[in-house]
Amino acid sequence: MEEFQTQRFDVIVVGAGPAGVAAAVTSARGGAKVLLVERSEIAGTKNMIGGAVFLSALKEVFPDNWHQAPLERYINKHTWSLLSDNSSVDVSCDFPLKPKSASIFRSKFDSWLVSQAKKEGVYFAPSTLVKRLIKKNGYYCGIETELERIEAKVIIIADGVNSLLACQHGFRYDYDAKDTVLSIKETVKLSKEIIEERFNITKGSNNGAARNFLGGLKSENTPFALGFMYTYSDSVSIGLGVNLEDLRRYALNPSDLLEKLKEHPVVAPLLQGGEMLEYSAHLIPEGGFKKLPKLCENGVMIAGDAAGFVNAIHFEGTNFAFISGKFAGETALAALKINDCSKRTLKLYEKKLKQSFILKDLKSYKDVMENLYSRTNSLMNYYPKKAAEFFEIFSGANCISKRDEFRNFIVNFIKDRSIRELFKDLAAFISSIFGVLK
Amino acid sequence: MSSDEVKKKTIEDKLTTIKYNCDSESHLVLDAQLCKNCESRCCTYICPAKVYTYDENQNTINVDYENCLECGACKIACPYGAIDWKYPKAGHGVIYKQS
């Protein structure tokens, strides 16, 4: 660390995840002297991802060598399942020749990102915890670690969902529990052959699958939660993202809920015989557009999860991180070039975000999660149950006339709960769709 | 609460799969006075690693910070802001390898 003591940098990036590395390499490619600091000894070892990273964003940042990244399997098959207590109704899509994402382990993947950044001239300081930012004359101009002070013209905060730095310096408040999802996951070892068989993957290929589960938690008070599975080379993940407010309100333990999902008769066979390799937990910021922080101040910008850049509906987060980091890096270069790192110049970062899918999507999706959350019982209980009932009639020869069965189904669909609920569901659905499309 | 005991073991089993480099002092500090008056004690059930347990005799919360997964859920969930939540010292805490 001594070598940094008297050094000054053009750019310091805090946090070596996708956002931080994208910011660091982009700045370094433009000739800036960049320091990337990371609190863990090995990048990615504090991180967890449900499973997959979006390739389009990875290619944007590493166009030439993205395919050398430690990718486990290309995720080209997605299945969404509505789970009732003992059954599942699925929708599935498969694009075996057009992979959009790939499953990764963060420790391997983030370490690879850092190794690439180092090759491109970024100085990397692992095991370095930033205590606070240094501010002089209204400008943020450095960091104070546990050991020393290091100065720079521009600081990019990319220290993840809990961003103590952003909270501490007033760029944002802590998230509310209702805007936060606690995601827990288990990585489970299974042989390649078993994974290929259970997930209908071509033998010996790098293809993989993702599964999502709505419902099936057999809980009296149903929390807003979504189960997930991803295939790795010779293991799978099984996890659950649960709204933190619901955990608190219903006094639930996330691990107990995951156990219930794992016991579900449709999920259990997928995991049968597997050996748990690792348990992990991480938060997802889902406040989105309504909880955006100050994105820049004199001498500083905020990128990735630290800024709450997540589109939960489409599991987008890594792509927002990569691209927002890249924008922050480009903006830092522009500011360094004219030697003006004031907020006025750094507003270019905000402009880039606004013109891109990042703020456009966050804005158009700003009400979607709230709409869905307000209909938790419909989504988690009522429709999965009704879907199961419908397909039980459709796929089962029950020796009852189909007309009677279907009529009964329709009557019950309307009678099983107050009709107001149906209209509320419709209103939430229409509001979400129009919010996105208008 | 016998079923709770069973579940607790389950989390303990899960925690054995995780590698840590434990710090010698806690990175999680509670405001004991606020905790004494807390009725929900949500930290004791929302934490995925069961870091917080309630000691009925002392009316205090025990903190097994060594098991912390550094997710931050407790900090956000605590209705009284009673948890001074920091990262462990650099290089310390949880070390995920396959997550």
CA A254 to chain centroid, in Å, comes to 18
Kindly list the residues from chain A whose CB atom is less than 8 angstroms away from the CB atom of residue B7. Answer: 253, 255-256, 259
In this structure, the answer to whether residues A196 and A331 fall within a common structural domain is: no
Would the pLDDT of A4 be above 80? Answer: no
Distance CA A421, CA A400 (A): 30
In this structure, the answer to whether residues A302 and A245 fall within a common structural domain is: no
Q: How confident is the model at residue A150 (pLDDT cuts 50, 70, 90)?
A: very high
Listed residue (A319, A326, A322, A321) closest to A307, CA to CA: A321
In this structure, the answer to whether residues A270 and A359 fall within a common structural domain is: no
Kindly list the residues from chain A whose CB atom is less than 8 angstroms away from the CB atom of residue B25. Answer: none
Residues in chain B: 99
Q: What percent of chain A has pLDDT over 90?
A: 92
Residue A217 lies in a domain: yes
B97 and A281: CB-CB below 8 Å? no
Out of A169-173, A218-222, A242-246, A405-409, pick the least confident. A218-222
Can you tell me the mean pLDDT for A232-253? 97
pLDDT computed for residue A6 by the predictor: 57
Would the pLDDT of A9 be above 70? Answer: yes
User: Residue A24 to residues A7, A76, A140, A247, A359: CA-CA distances in angstroms?
Assistant: 17, 30, 18, 37, 21
The kind and range of the H/E element at A103 are strand A101-103
A164 and B96: CB-CB below 8 Å? no
Q: How confident is the model at residue A220 (pLDDT cuts 50, 70, 90)?
A: confident
The kind and range of the H/E element at A320 are helix A318-337
CATH of the domain at A31: 3.50.50.60
The SS3 assignment for B93 reads: strand
Residue A197 CB neighbours (<10 A)? 12
In this structure, the answer to whether residues A204 and A279 fall within a common structural domain is: yes
Q: What is the mean pLDDT of chain B?
A: 91
In this structure, the answer to whether residues A12 and A119 fall within a common structural domain is: yes
Q: Which of A181, A189, A244 to mutate to test the interface with B (most CBs of B within 10 A)?
A: A244
Q: What percent of chain A has pLDDT over 70?
A: 99
Residue A324 lies in a domain: yes
- Give the residue on A whose Cα is nearest the Cα of B95: A45
In this structure, the answer to whether residues A163 and A311 fall within a common structural domain is: yes
A46 and B50: CB-CB below 8 Å? no
pLDDT computed for residue B3 by the predictor: 43
pLDDT computed for residue A167 by the predictor: 96
DSSP B27: S
Kindly list the residues from chain B whose CB atom is less than 8 angstroms away from the CB atom of residue A17. Answer: none
pLDDT computed for residue A133 by the predictor: 98
DSSP A177: G
Residue A166 lies in a domain: yes
A283 and B99: CB-CB below 8 Å? no
A146 and B10: CB-CB below 8 Å? no
If one compares A306 and A220, the residue with the highest pLDDT of the two is: A306
User: Angle CA(A233)–CA(A257)–CA(A310) in degrees, nearest 5?
Assistant: 65
pLDDT computed for residue A435 by the predictor: 86
Confirm if A279 and A259 have CB atoms less than 8 A apart.
no
In this structure, the answer to whether residues A108 and A141 fall within a common structural domain is: yes
In this structure, the answer to whether residues A279 and A250 fall within a common structural domain is: yes
Specify burial of residue A97 (Cβ count, 10 A radius: 0-12, 13-18, 19+): exposed
pLDDT tens profile A72-108: 999 999 999 999 999 999 999 999 888 899 999 999 9
CA B95 to chain centroid, in Å, comes to 16
pLDDT computed for residue A219 by the predictor: 76
Can you tell me the mean pLDDT for A301-329? 97
pLDDT tens profile A375-426: 999 999 999 999 999 999 999 888 999 999 999 999 999 888 988 999 999 9
pLDDT computed for residue A221 by the predictor: 86
Kindly list the residues from chain B whose CB atom is less than 8 angstroms away from the CB atom of residue A128. Answer: 90
Q: Which of B43, B53, B99 to mutate to test the interface with A (most CBs of A within 10 A)?
A: B99
Residue A87 lies in a domain: no
Q: B44 — phi, psi (to 5°)?
A: -75, -20
The strand ranges marked E within A126-223 are 130-136, 139-145, 149-157, 180-189, 207-215
For chain B, which domains are there? 2-91 (3.30.70.20)
A263 touches chain B (CB under 8 A): no
Distance CA B87, CA B94 (A): 10
Q: A83 — phi, psi (to 5°)?
A: -100, 125
pLDDT computed for residue A28 by the predictor: 98
Can you tell me the mean pLDDT for A168-179? 94
Out of A285, A318, A348, a domain closes at: A285
Q: What is the mean pLDDT of chain A?
A: 95
pLDDT computed for residue B2 by the predictor: 41
- Give the residue on A whose Cα is nearest the Cα of B5: A256
Distance CA A285, CA A231 (A): 24
How many structural domains are present in chain A?
3
Kindly list the residues from chain B whose CB atom is less than 8 angstroms away from the CB atom of residue A165. Answer: none
- Give the residue on A whose Cα is nearest the Cα of B75: A174
In this structure, the answer to whether residues A203 and A263 fall within a common structural domain is: yes
Would the pLDDT of A197 be above 80? Answer: yes
Exposure on the CB side of residue A208, measured as CA atoms within 13 A = 26
Listed residue (A44, A54, A34) closest to A119, CA to CA: A34
A187 and B71: CB-CB below 8 Å? no
B87 and A255: CB-CB below 8 Å? no
Residue A325 lies in a domain: yes
In this structure, the answer to whether residues A204 and A329 fall within a common structural domain is: no
Q: How confident is the model at residue A174 (pLDDT cuts 50, 70, 90)?
A: confident
Radius of gyration of chain B (CA): 14
In this structure, the answer to whether residues A279 and A411 fall within a common structural domain is: no
What is the domain range of residue A242? 178-285
Q: How confident is the model at residue A5 (pLDDT cuts 50, 70, 90)?
A: low
In this structure, the answer to whether residues A22 and A129 fall within a common structural domain is: yes
pLDDT tens profile B10-43: 899 999 999 999 999 999 999 999 999 999 999 9
Can you tell me the mean pLDDT for A47-68? 96
Out of A285, A302, A327, a domain closes at: A285
Would the pLDDT of A2 be above 80? Answer: no
A163 touches chain B (CB under 8 A): no
Q: How many angstroms away from the CA of A415 is the closest CA of chain B?
A: 36
Out of A344, A363, A382, a domain closes at: A363
Which residue is it, tokens 């433009």? Answer: A30
pLDDT tens profile A321-348: 999 999 999 999 999 999 999 999 999 9
Listed residue (A53, A185, A207, A376) closest to B48, CA to CA: A185
Residue A90 lies in a domain: no
Specify burial of residue A69 (Cβ count, 10 A radius: 0-12, 13-18, 19+): middle
Residue A116 lies in a domain: yes
A404 touches chain B (CB under 8 A): no
Q: How confident is the model at residue B98 (pLDDT cuts 50, 70, 90)?
A: very high
pLDDT computed for residue A218 by the predictor: 82
Residue A53 lies in a domain: yes
Residue B5 CB neighbours (<10 A)? 8
Can you tell me the mean pLDDT for A105-133? 98
- Give the residue on A whose Cα is nearest the Cα of B84: A164
Listed residue (A395, A316, A291, A407) closest to A56, CA to CA: A316
Can you tell me the mean pLDDT for A63-69? 97
